[in-house]
Amino acid sequence: MNMTARVLHRSMVLDLVRIAVGGFFFVLGILGLFLPLLQGILFLAIAAVLLSPYVPWFHRLKLYLYRRFPAVRHQVQRFKRNLHKRVSTRRSQRAGSANRLC
């Protein structure tokens, strides 16, 4: 499998995982609206963030929530930046160790 196909396959797998996890949180959110033990709004907000690239309604909801609660938007952006730094650091460490093995 060449590099382009590998990257494309990885991207598709990550998209499917993101959709599955987002769907799971959406179901938990709906159940949480009716069951007192679950935090329905929290799970729906997580589902909206995960599914927003794929579902236009969730994208609009995410934009509304970011406008309504700017502090939350800043926290989410900071979390994404930190996560991106960690992932890119791990990738560069793996690439470095793979080059040493060759």
pLDDT attached to residue 20: 93
Contact 60, 48 (CB under 8 A): no
In angstroms, the CA 17 to CA 20 distance is: 5
Mean local confidence (pLDDT), 89-98: 64
Question: 8-22 pLDDT, tens per residue?
Answer: 677 788 888 889 999
**63 has pLDDT over 90:** no
Round the CA-based radius of gyration of the chain to a whole number and report it.
18
Which are the contacts of 26, defined by CB distance < 8 A and separation ≥ 6?
Answer: 43, 44, 47, 51
Burial label for 39, CB within 10 Å (0-12, 13-18, 19+), is middle
Q: Which pTM does this prediction carry?
A: 0.63
Half-sphere exposure (Cβ direction) of 6: Cα atoms closer than 13 Å: 3
